[in-house]
């Protein structure tokens, strides 16, 4: 999307006015904002362009009721501000920011949303991580309320909201959040960091590509890079499983398929045959036809219809001649326990997941069962591509030039957002930078074996203390935490070549560590040294090729 000159001018005027208003209202803040509740409540009178401060209130230690199960006694008291920003007719971007009453470390922390956004609470988990670090931490509803993360039906006929969701809302959150932060503390943030996964990952890439001065460090997971085709692939999978009778894979058949894929691919490349996950899925080719048993419906094999469904999942969308049009899923993502194939075959509202995006183009009565990938995706790309696919374009040159640092992570067992997209994005950045070493100076990619979509999976799954999982790593140090590694990198430490990912017994830190493995900066992989303990990260080395 390219804004016209008049619209760019309005944006510059809005941002200058926002910053000027914040500077003129520093009297609202006092040197020790934790001394009394008045400074927080006074933010209700903060006058920022196009902005309504809907509430400003002190939250006592432990959090507030709407946080639900993530409330915890170790959360410090904070000032909670909720605002609405309307920069253009039809646009209404919700912003929420939490400001520690004491111990602010001079850092602004922006967070991403998920799916179609629409609710601020989607960012509360990562915001608690920022709050514990002493950061002012914010989230946006992406300007799509009353949509919800899984339902964008309310956005039909709302092009301004599409633009807010796809590109503008995170920047608006950042500028607004920084202004409120400066007004409250009486000083601007000295650093700014961003964290987000899935749609939140896409938002982070948009920040780096188009708003390079917003953040010093950006950590994104499983970013939705090609938004239109990402939704097209979900619909492709749903119809492959459901359009014809007898083609849906039951949980039993999914486990059968997963076991066969693990047996075929577990020891491929840098993987280990004894692991309960596939360590190097790109090093193996697996054909579900190996499990075929004709038309017999037995638990130990796949019918012809079930084989066809599995092949459609692995291939991804293809044209009428069978040539690939987008990415498919990789072996090892069949039953990851989070967003696995059973999710893609379910219909929570009686319709395929995320089908709302197609209704923005074709209307609310569109017959999704008649979807034809070549015909319909051309129309969707023509209508929405210039609006929602900005992460497929743009340049990281300015972000690199101003010293920004970018870390991307993605699970190889992600069956909702194809991990190959992140690899392709990074390789494009490498080419633009002039080579791998040049790109590694400001951007790193970590591919996580056995890790599902943003959380969970059969492999080591705890390596990001700012993520949605809300389970801290063994220590919040750069050795075990991508976010801590990013912060240290921005502050002048060496770039991270690896971090240690942890799997806890039954997912509980109290029960101890079940396994640890290094995550290596792409294109390196974790290769085992000789016969060392496979659960000990010291038994592995990060290398592009096997150690000699």
Catalytic positions are 198, 414, 453
Helices (H), 33-168: 38-42, 124-132, 159-163
Q: Are the beta carbons of 154 and 360 closer than 8 angstroms?
A: no
Greatest extent of the chain over all pairs of C-alpha atoms, in Å: 77
In the numeric block, which tokens belong to residue 469? 């999982």
Q: What whole-number distance in Å separates Cα of residue 397 and Cα of residue 292?
A: 50
* Environment class of 11 (CB within 10 Å of its CB; exposed 0-12, middle 13-18, buried 19+): middle
d(CA 111, CA 490): 18
Q: How is residue 530 annotated by DSSP?
A: T
Q: Identify which of 129, 93, 134 has the alpha carbon closest to the alpha carbon of residue 111.
A: 129
Residue with tokens 């900066």: 521
Could you tell me which residues are beta bridge partners of residue 120?
A: none
- Residue 123 structure tokens: 């960012």
- Strand stretches in 372-480, DSSP E: 405-411, 443-448
Report DSSP letters for 40-52, one per residue: HHHGGG---TTEE
CA 147 – CA 154 distance, rounded (Å)? 6
Nearest of 326, 56, 325 to residue 184 by alpha carbon: 56
The C-alpha atoms of residue 450 and residue 266 are separated, in whole angstroms, by 11
Report d(CA 311, CA 330) in Å as an integer. Answer: 11
Helix, strand, coil share (%) of the chain residues, nearest 5: 40, 15, 45
525 pairs with which residues across the strands?
543
Q: Is 257 helix (H, G, I), strand (E, B) or coil?
A: helix
Name which of 348, 314, 347 is nearest 418 in CA terms.
314
Radius of gyration from C-alpha coordinates of the chain: 23
| Pairing verdict, β 405-411 and 93-100 | unpaired
Could you give the C-alpha distances from 426 to 56, 170, 333, 410, 521, in angstroms and in order?
40, 22, 22, 11, 11
523 C-beta neighbours (distance < 10 Å), count: 15
Measure the CA–CA gap between 139 and 500, rounded to whole angstroms. 28
């Amino acid at each position: 999307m390219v804004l016209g000159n008049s619209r760019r001018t309005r944006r510059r005027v809005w941002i200058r006015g926002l910053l000027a208003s914040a500077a003129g209202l520093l009297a609202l803040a006092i040197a020790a904002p934790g001394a009394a509740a008045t400074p927080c409540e006074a933010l209700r009178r903060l006058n920022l362009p196009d902005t309504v401060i809907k509430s400003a209130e002190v939250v006592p230690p432990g959090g507030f009721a709407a946080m639900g199960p993530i409330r915890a006694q170790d959360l410090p008291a904070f000032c909670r501000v909720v605002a609405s920003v309307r920069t253009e007719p039809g646009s209404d971007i919700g912003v929420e920011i939490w400001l520690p009453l004491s111990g602010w470390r001079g850092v602004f922390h922006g967070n991403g949303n998920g799916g179609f956004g629409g609710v601020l609470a989607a960012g509360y988990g990562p915001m608690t991580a920022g709050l514990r670090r002493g950061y002012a931490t914010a989230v946006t509803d992406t300007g799509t309320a009353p949509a919800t993360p899984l339902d964008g039906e309310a956005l039909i006929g709302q092009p301004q909201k599409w633009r807010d969701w796809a590109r503008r809302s995170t920047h608006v959150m950042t500028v607004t959040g920084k202004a409120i932060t400066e007004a409250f503390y009486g000083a601007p943030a000295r650093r700014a960091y961003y964290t987000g996964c899935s749609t939140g990952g896409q938002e982070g890439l948009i920040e780096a590509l188009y708003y390079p001065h917003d953040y010093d460090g950006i950590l994104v997971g499983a970013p939705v890079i090609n938004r239109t085709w990402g939704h097209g692939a979900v619909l492709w999978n749903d119809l492959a499983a459901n359009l014809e009778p007898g083609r849906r894979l039951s949980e039993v058949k999914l486990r059968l398929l997963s076991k066969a894929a693990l047996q075929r691919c577990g020891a491929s490349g840098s993987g280990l045959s004894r692991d309960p996950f596939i360590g190097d899925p790109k090093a193996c080719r697996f054909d579900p036809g190996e499990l075929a048993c004709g038309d017999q419906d037995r638990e130990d094999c796949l019918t012809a219809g079930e084989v066809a469904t599995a092949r459609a999942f692995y291939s991804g969308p293809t044209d009428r001649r069978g040539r690939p049009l987008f990415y498919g899923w990789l072996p090892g993502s069949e039953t990851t326990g989070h967003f696995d194939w059973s999710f893609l075959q379910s219909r929570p509202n009686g319709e395929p997941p995320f089908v709302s995006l197609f209704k923005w183009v074709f209307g609310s009565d569109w017959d999704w069962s008649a979807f034809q990938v070549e015909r319909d995706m051309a129309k969707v790309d023509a209508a929405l591509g210039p609006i929602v696919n900005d992460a497929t374009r743009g340049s990281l040159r300015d972000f690199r030039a101003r010293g920004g640092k970018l870390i991307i992570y993605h699970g190889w067992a992600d069956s909702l957002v194809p991990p190959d997209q992140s690899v392709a994005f990074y390789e494009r950045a490498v080419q633009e930078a002039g080579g791998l070493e040049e790109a590694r100076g400001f951007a790193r990619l970590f591919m996580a074996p056995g890790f599902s979509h943003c959380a969970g999976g059969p492999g080591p799954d705890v390596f990001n203390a700012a993520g949605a999982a809300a389970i801290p790593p063994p220590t919040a140090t750069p050795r075990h935490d991508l976010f801590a590694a990013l912060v240290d990198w921005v502050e002048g430490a060496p770039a991270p070549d690896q971090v240690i990912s942890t799997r806890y017994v039954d997912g509980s830190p109290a029960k101890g560590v079940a396994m640890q493995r290094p995550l290596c900066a792409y294109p390196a992989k974790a290769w085992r040294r000789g016969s060392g303990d496979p659960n000990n990260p010291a038994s592995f080395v990060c290398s592009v090729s096997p150690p000699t």
